[in-house]
Amino acid sequence: MTPAKQFVKKILFSCFLIIYLVGCGMQTEPAPTATLSPTPEPRIFRVIAYATDAAVPALIPFDMLTHINYAFLLPNDDGTFKPIINAWMVGELVRLGREHHVKILVSVGGWGWDTQFEAMAADPARRTAFVQNLIKIVSQYQFDGVDIDWEYPDAGPSSQNFLALIEELRAALPKGALLTAAVAALGDNGGGIPAESFKFMDFVNLMAYDNTGPFHSSFDFAQASIDYWEERGLPAEKTVLGVPFYGRGTEVRATEISYARIVKANPANAQGDSATVNGVPVNYNGIPTMQAKTRLALKRASGIMFWTLENDTTGDLSLLNAIHQVVINNGN
């Protein structure tokens, strides 16, 4: 064999060896393992409205929102659900949400439904039935995800049942579907939400309102709520600050009065946090406080949530518009 042919043979052998070794490396690389982690959303500042069946979908300012939580789907203690009464409204809400690129979630539970959650989540068979039935409803109405509003699991066994429920839901929901929860602002009622559940949820809505005392949902209370959940290990990118679009009297659990009604009584009320409406002293969040809370959320959280959309007014006095102006101007 000539020197030239020997050289070519060596080159060919070297090439074959390189190809073989690379191929073996590709074949032996372990396949990625599946996880129960949420699918990351695009990094946007979330503006989330709770809307009941009293909302009129055609009048919703979708361009100021990123998410809407339809409230409520009511659970039974056996893992089934009460029928959605205004199904036409829900269908229209989902349709318009798609058109405007707004995610529509179904919120399950609400105030006064803790007994049903407790009984269901404590029983593995009922819990599985709950998850399976909920997935069917999500598919039927084409919701973009689920918001669990269990007010409130106790620390201890109830807390572990909450964790089991959230983990099962995360595993059962289709890829890309959102899983969130509404939780107490802070204190004992927050202790039943275990930190281990955070990894299964896309974000958590802090219900930083209805605090007792002379103020209703003060700015300081919002700060304290974020502090509490930050100390519990909830990351800022999963923290959503909740604010009220309603006022209350000074008594604990006093009757709600909508922000729309407060400013209808006197438009100047939009610039304050307390007023007398029909002879009743009422505390609420006016435009300056709402914008200050939005700046706080921009700095320390990933979004702002409010209860409820239909409590707002329209035009320049709208609280949603006040939030929107801060968001589009990056906190200025």
Q: Give 245's contacts (C-beta < 8 A, 6+ positions apart).
A: 258, 259, 306, 307, 308, 309, 311, 312, 319, 320
Q: Where are the alpha helices (DSSP H) in the chain?
A: 3-28, 87-99, 114-121, 124-141, 157-172, 219-231, 259-265, 287-300, 319-328
Strand partners, 73: 108
Catalytic residue (choose from 118, 151, 196, 310): 151
Cβ neighbourhood burial of 287 (10 Å; 0-12, 13-18, 19+) = buried
Catalytic (active site) residue 251: no
Please write the tens of the pLDDT for every residue from 188-246.
999 999 999 999 999 999 999 987 666 689 999 999 999 999 999 999 999 999 999 99
DSSP assignment of 29-49:
SPPPPP--PPPPPPS--EEEE
Q: List the chain domain ranges.
A: 40-245+286-328
Is the model's pTM score more than 0.95? Answer: no
Please tell me the predicted confidence (pLDDT) of residue 7: 42
Give the DSSP H/E element, type plus range, for residue 187: none
Instruction: Determine the Cα–Cα distance for residues 263 and 275; give it in Å rounded to an integer.
Output: 10
Tens digit of each residue's pLDDT, the chain (332 residues) = 544 444 434 444 444 444 343 343 433 333 333 446 686 665 699 999 999 999 999 999 999 999 999 999 999 999 999 999 899 999 999 999 999 999 999 999 999 999 999 999 999 999 999 999 999 999 999 999 999 999 999 999 999 999 999 999 999 999 999 999 999 999 999 999 999 999 999 999 999 998 766 668 999 999 999 999 999 999 999 999 999 999 988 765 567 899 999 999 999 999 999 999 988 889 999 999 999 999 999 999 999 999 999 999 999 999 999 999 999 999 88
- Measured from the Cβ of residue 222, the count of other Cβ atoms closer than 10 Å reads 27
Residue 174 DSSP class: P
Amino acid identity for residue 234 in this structure:
L
Q: Which residue has the tokens 């060596």?
A: 10
Instruction: Determine the Cα–Cα distance for residues 56 and 185; give it in Å rounded to an integer.
Output: 29
Between strands 145-149 and 246-247, the pairing is unpaired
CATH 3.40.50.720 corresponds to the domain 40-245+286-328? no
Supply 85's token pair.
């009464």
Q: Where are the alpha helices (DSSP H) in 143-281?
A: 157-172, 219-231, 259-265
